[in-house]
Amino acid sequence: MFLNKYPKEVKQILSKYPLEHKRSAVMPLLYLAQREEGYITKSAMQDIAKMLDITETEVASIVGFYTLYHDEKAGKYHMQVCTDLPCALRGADEFLQNLCGNLGIKVGETTPDGLVTLEGVMCLAACDKAPMFQTQGPDGIKYHENMTVDRTMELIEALRKSNS
């Protein structure tokens, strides 16, 4: 059970919210649940719903809405390329397709070594610096702006070396 696994952290998170507004702790609890495995299990979502007196559907809808939460096992790093209109006008779509070609995967897939899952997302708030993406992994979230496919492949190779 989630509470048994992280009692100190859960207590600390819940202490930040008045009892009548404890449902507001849902996002930090989800982040905690995702920390170890890189995704949020159905069991963790159920535990969080019980803890906060909300429905599992409410918890799952938050996981489904925000790109920082994941409910399926994926690569060690989530590489999220912004593909909204301003970024597309600066070449994001072509960048993403060329990146897929270099990695030998499609958008939404994971590299064969399990290192990177490539995703297209909307608005990472750096329209003037596209093509850009963020990586989510064990070392947190990092932005990469004004990227080229070659520089991105160098970054991925560096990640491979540091994770081998």
The CATH number linked to 39 is: 1.10.10.1590
Q: What is the pLDDT of residue 83?
A: 94
Residues of the chain with pLDDT under 50: none
Residue 48 identity = I
Q: What is the pLDDT of residue 4?
A: 86
Q: What is the pLDDT of residue 151?
A: 98
Is 118 in the same domain as 53? no
Q: What is the pLDDT of residue 1?
A: 72
What's the gap between Cα 65 and its chain centre? 11
C-alpha R_g of the chain: 18
Q: How far apart are CA 4 and CA 17, in angstroms?
A: 20
Count how many domains the chain has.
2
* The domain boundary residue, chosen from 65, 96, 113: 65
Is 45 in the same domain as 93? no
- Domain assignment of residue 25, yes or no: yes
What are the tokens at 63? 């996981």
Domain enclosing residue 93, as ranges: 77-162
What are the tokens at 134? 């963020």
Q: SS3 of 125, please?
A: coil
Q: How many CB atoms lie within 10 A of CB 147?
A: 20
Is 84 in the same domain as 143? yes
